[in-house]
Amino acid sequence: MISRLYKLIVIAMERDTYDFELEQIKKLIKERGAKRVGLQLPEGLKTEVTDIAAEISKDTGAEVIISGNSCYGACDIDEKLERIVDVLFHFGHTQTFFLKKEPLLRKVKKVVFIELRSSVNVKLVVEKAVAEIKGDTVGLVATVQHAHALKEAKAVIIHSGKKAVIGKSRLKYDGQILGCDFSSAVVPCKEILCIGSGSFHPVGLALYTGKRVIAADPFTMQISIYEAEELRKKRYMTIARSLDAKSVGIIVGMKSGQFDLSEAIDLKKKAVEKGIGAYLIVMDDIEEDKLLGFKVDAFVNTACPRVAEDFVHFEKPVLSVKEFEVVLGERKWEDIFKPFSFKR
């Protein structure tokens, strides 16, 4: 009960620090003369959305339509909603390279990304995290909500007598990371300090960069350590369970920034050449109960490259593309994990 209450307090604290940019949103609606407006927020912030809708509607006169679908990243634009509105506000992510993909160019004009910058003070948690840095230098990264605070975090580390490097990113900001892009962690040091909440990003950082990750949560003030080898072992075991597969379901994600049919067809061809039966399966959200019925020995996921990690305890192995290439004998085990996994 206490831990549930604590969680709710943390969520409320977190929410209160985000900049929803409502004044800019209302200004833009008026400037564009938008009559219908769409709102898409990540799961944890859906409690806010009715208040936001009411305020926008009252102050602009626009009809506001809320997306009830998932919102995991900039790869996950609610396309059906986007088609029926004049402008769609997508919260919590930055426009990324995914949107440069050909089928998505049309959407860039209609979708406005609200980054939800957090005003939480990162100084205290970074001061606490410094004690965990083993070497002289640490790479410094953050999710988009805290990317603007990285310089301040760097100053804290330097003040403690250590060095900090903020790496160049393929994303909008230096030091910014995504669940599938850790290009900013390609820096000359063995440890990364990651500012943000939850385990999704630090787990990916450790897994894909092979570095030791110190995760610093500025809301809970919790410091957690992630070691690459432990995480990689779990994935190697899943690959090992797939080595004898006689048939595979190749999942094609239908979310706008994850769709890659040509890659799925290519993998199917390679599997068939190796004597493995292969079937293409399209899905929006990839969930265990939706996979249960298929009579195949394993699944390969061509959508979000991090989804396979959610299926560690699933009765059948679910592999990423690179992991399946190991099964096909086309990739070495040591070449599976790279800091940017989306573009393969």
Instruction: Point out which residues bind ligand SF4 (CB under 6 A).
Output: 72-73, 75-76, 178-180, 258, 304, 306, 342
Rank residues 39 and 286 by Cβ distance to ligand SF4 and give the closer one.
286
Instruction: Please tell me the distance from the alpha carbon of residue 178 to that of residue 130, in angstroms, as a whole number.
Output: 23
Kindly list the distances between the CA atom of residue 123 and the CA atoms of 100, 167, 216, 274, in Å, as whole numbers in the listed order.
Answer: 35, 19, 11, 54
Rank residues 16 and 287 by Cβ distance to ligand SF4 and give the closer one.
287
Q: Do the beta carbons of residue 125 and residue 100 sit within 8 Å?
A: no
What is the separation, in whole angstroms, between the first and last Cα of the chain?
Answer: 44
User: Shortest approach of ligand SF4 to residue 302 CB, angstroms?
Assistant: 11
Instruction: Please tell me the distance from the alpha carbon of residue 115 to that of residue 113, in angstroms, as a whole number.
Output: 6
Query: 163 - beta bridge partners?
Result: 137
Rank residues 42 and 277 by Cβ distance to ligand SF4 and give the closer one.
42
- DSSP, residue by residue, 285-321: S--HHHHTT---SEEEE-S-TTGGGGGTTSSS-EEEH
One-letter amino acid for residue 83 of the chain: R
User: Shortest approach of ligand SF4 to residue 12 CB, angstroms?
Assistant: 25
One-letter amino acid for residue 16 of the chain: D
- DSSP, residue by residue, 33-96: T-SEEEEE--GGGHHHHHHHHHHHHHHH--EEEE--S---STT---HHHHHHSSEEEEES----
User: Shortest approach of ligand SF4 to residue 204 CB, angstroms?
Assistant: 7
Q: Do the beta carbons of residue 115 and residue 145 sit within 8 Å?
A: yes
Tokens encoding 74: 């900039």
User: Shortest approach of ligand SF4 to residue 293 CB, angstroms?
Assistant: 24
User: Shortest approach of ligand SF4 to residue 342 CB, angstroms?
Assistant: 6
User: Shortest approach of ligand SF4 to residue 343 CB, angstroms?
Assistant: 11
Rank residues 180 and 231 by Cβ distance to ligand SF4 and give the closer one.
180
Query: 247 - beta bridge partners?
Result: 277
Rank residues 76 and 82 by Cβ distance to ligand SF4 and give the closer one.
76
DSSP state of 191: E
Rank residues 60 and 143 by Cβ distance to ligand SF4 and give the closer one.
143
Instruction: Please tell me the distance from the alpha carbon of residue 265 to that of residue 267, in angstroms, as a whole number.
Output: 5
Rank residues 64 and 144 by Cβ distance to ligand SF4 and give the closer one.
144
User: Shortest approach of ligand SF4 to residue 81 CB, angstroms?
Assistant: 17
Rank residues 201 and 232 by Cβ distance to ligand SF4 and give the closer one.
201
